């Protein structure tokens, strides 16, 4: 049977505000000691009262505007009750029936096609604390005991929910990537997937092609890279397909992506499904968002990825392929534009970024913002090539060295005594020597064996230890032999 895949995403984004959602505690605690950034409010002490963070509301509206959502005139917070020790209050302040943003959509480019993915809602809540399970497995199952860290409890968290419009793992990955890109451009979160400030849960089900009803879904969590999202969904499609084909049923449950073993594992089943008993948060008043305020916010929105892409195509006259790559993240686009400030050939910049730079970043598993090769380094290298000081081949070696040491290309060229002989007289002298010593090859070439030229070029390069400008060597050899 042919199945159709149905996917909907729930993405949590920690906002990059100075303070937490309902108290004055700092949010800048990553890798600090546990339970330092806490106060009676985010520890849920009796009698403490929450005060909403205006900046967080502003950031949520900005995300909604960027996703073409409808921004609520009237909105409120609700209590989501649950019993789990990662929240000291035993409830999380969230939004239930009146979220800040509803509806909207995002266009996603996948394999040359554009797909419109509808947004269900964008709401604001507070993040939970973190549990650390002590024991051999490091997981809750079989742990000897668990420790709790409330530093993260109360950090502003935006949840973006999509309609079940996504049809392939590629689309899910592309959606998550573009959303991250948009949020980075808005400057409202650092969107660091490894640190957990951008977390994507995927709901997935299969149904017979043409069916109207949705199949039973599973929800997959714990994917901390885009590749993991894609891999987990591919795995889940196969798992569900096998169940359906053998006449079994898919159980509605939450599953955990196990990146080490490339599988999803059942975390909790429907039997344990939560009843959150939402009710309006009595310690907070509801809010009216004025239309003027929203209009003003609209005016402050920065250039977003689609607009940037269009501008790059127009200004730099690059191909769609290049531009897609250069605008795939904010850091990538910023890097490129920084290079263009001191170097005018955009195509050469783009080639080097897509080639050597990407290759080294991937191999070292680094992000472009962590690269020791900064725009300054990259431009200096391009200029050294343009000036004929080093060959394209030498540039590769220099690039590797810059990447590893962070030294400027000029310094490396000097230290290694790298230089390219581009002086015609010098090359003519060496070519003459080579021709003199290789009479046989010269005869062969003249009798029509064109490929002997390569051998002769090789001899010149050997004599100069690779430093002769290959184009010049070629030109001069051909002239001499004709
Ligand atoms: P839940 O109550 O389990 O959280 P929701 O209806 O709130 O489910 O939907 C959560 C997410 O799951 C949304 O992104 C939605 O698009 C997606 N979703 C809902 N039903 C399905 C389904 N049958 N298959 C795949 N995704 C689904
Ligand atoms: Mg849900
Ligand atoms: Zn606090």
β partners of residue 4: 207
Closest ligand 1 atom, residue 252 Cα: 3
Ligand 1 first shell, C-beta below 6 A: 6-10, 161-164, 203-205, 214-215, 217
How high is the pLDDT of residue 391?
Answer: 84
CA of 334 to the centre of ligand 1 (A): 36
Closest ligand 1 atom, residue 162 Cα: 14
439 CA → ligand 1 middle, Å: 78
| Centroid of ligand 3 to alpha carbon of 384 (angstroms) | 54
Question: What is the position in ligand 1's atom list of the atom closest to the CA of 215?
Answer: 23
Q: How far apart are CA 385 and CA 324, in angstroms?
A: 26
Q: Calculate how far, in angstroms, residue 89's C-alpha sits from the geometric centre of ligand 3.
A: 12
If you average pLDDT over residues 157-180, what whole number do you get?
98
Structure confidence at residue 273 (pLDDT): 56
445: left (phi over 0), alpha (psi -120 to 50) or beta: alpha
Specify which residues 114 forms β-bridges with: 109
Report the nearest-CA residue for atom 14 of ligand 1. Answer: 8
Q: Strands 218-223, 253-258: parallel, antiparallel or unpaired by DSSP?
A: parallel
Mutation test residue for ligand 1: of 8, 96, 166, 211, the one with most atoms within 8 Å of CB: 8
What's the gap in Å between 6 CA and the centre of ligand 2? 15
How much of the chain exceeds pLDDT 70, in percent? 99
φ, ψ (nearest 5 deg) of residue 319: -70, 160
> Relative to the alpha carbon of 50, which ligand is closest?
3
On the 0-12 / 13-18 / 19+ scale of CB atoms within 10 A, 193 is middle
Which segments within 111-168 are labelled E, that is strand? 113-126, 130-134, 145-149, 156-162
- Alpha-carbon distance 3 to 7, whole Å? 13
Considering the entire predicted model, what is its pTM? Answer: 0.88
First to last CA, the chain: 69
In this predicted model, what pLDDT tens digit does every residue of 233-275 receive, in sequence order? Answer: 999 999 999 999 999 999 999 999 999 999 999 976 655 557 8
Ligand closest to 273 (CA) is 1
Residue 2 CA to ligand 2 center (angstroms) comes to: 28
Catalogue all structural domains in the chain, each as residue range(s) with its CATH number.
Answer: 3-296 (no CATH), 303-416 (no CATH), 424-481 (1.10.10.410)
The phi and psi torsions of 274 (rounded to 5 degrees) equal -85, 145
Quick: pLDDT tens for 381-432.
Answer: 999 999 888 888 889 999 999 999 999 999 999 888 777 787 888 889 999 9
pLDDT at 272: 54
């Amino acid at each position: 049977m042919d199945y159709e895949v149905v996917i909907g995403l729930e993405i949590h984004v920690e906002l990059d505000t100075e303070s937490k959602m309902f108290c004055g505690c700092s949010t800048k605690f990553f890798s600090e000691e546990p339970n330092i950034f806490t106060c009676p409010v985010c520890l849920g002490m009796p009698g403490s009262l929450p005060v909403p963070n205006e900046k967080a509301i502003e950031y949520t509206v900005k995300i909604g505007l960027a996703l073409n959502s409808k921004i609520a005139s009237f909105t409120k917070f609700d209590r989501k009750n649950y019993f789990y020790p990662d929240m000291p209050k035993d409830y999380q302040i969230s939004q239930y029936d009146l979220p800040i943003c509803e509806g909207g959509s995002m266009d996603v480019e996948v394999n040359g096609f554009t797909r419109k993915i509808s947004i269900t809602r964008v709401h604001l809540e507070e993040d939970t604390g973190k549990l650390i399970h002590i024991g051999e497995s490091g997981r809750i199952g079989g742990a000897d005991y668990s420790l709790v860290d409330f530093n993260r409890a109360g950090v502003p968290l935006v949840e973006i929910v999509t309609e079940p419009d996504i049809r392939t793992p590629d689309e899910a990955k592309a959606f998550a990537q573009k959303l991250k890109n948009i949020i980075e451009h808005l400057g409202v979160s650092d969107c660091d997937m490894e640190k957990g400030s951008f977390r994507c849960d995927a709901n997935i089900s299969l149904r017979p092609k043409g069916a109207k009803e949705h199949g039973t879904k599973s929800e997959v969590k714990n994917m901390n890279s885009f590749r993991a999202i894609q891999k987990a969904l591919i795995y889940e499609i196969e798992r569900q397909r096998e169940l359906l084909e053998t006449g079994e049923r898919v159980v509605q449950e939450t599953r955990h992506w196990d990146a080490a073993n490339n599988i999803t594992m059942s975390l909790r089943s429907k039997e344990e499904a939560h009843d959150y008993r939402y009710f309006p948060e009595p310690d907070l008043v509801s809010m009216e968002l004025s239309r003027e305020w929203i209009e003003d916010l609209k005016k402050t929105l920065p250039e977003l990825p689609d607009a940037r892409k269009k501008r790059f195509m127009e200004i730099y006259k690059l191909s769609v392929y290049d531009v897609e790559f250069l605008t795939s993240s904010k850091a990538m686009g910023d890097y490129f534009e920084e290079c263009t400030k001191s170097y005018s050939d955009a195509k050469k910049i783009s080639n080097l970024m897509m080639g050597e730079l990407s290759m080294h970043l991937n191999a070292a598993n680094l992000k472009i913002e962590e690269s020791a090769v900064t725009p300054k380094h990259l431009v200096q290298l391009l200029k050294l090539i343009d000036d004929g000081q080093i060959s394209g081949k030498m540039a590769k070696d220099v690039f590797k060295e810059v990447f590893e040491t962070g030294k400027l290309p000029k310094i490396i060229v000097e230290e290694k005594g790298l230089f390219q002989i581009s002086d015609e007289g010098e090359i003519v002298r060496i070519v003459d020597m080579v021709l003199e010593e290789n009479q046989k090859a010269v005869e062969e070439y003249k009798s029509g064996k064109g490929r002997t030229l390569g051998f002769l070029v090789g001899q010149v390069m050997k004599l100069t230890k690779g430093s002769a400008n290959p184009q010049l060597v070629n030109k001069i050899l051909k002239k001499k032999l004709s």
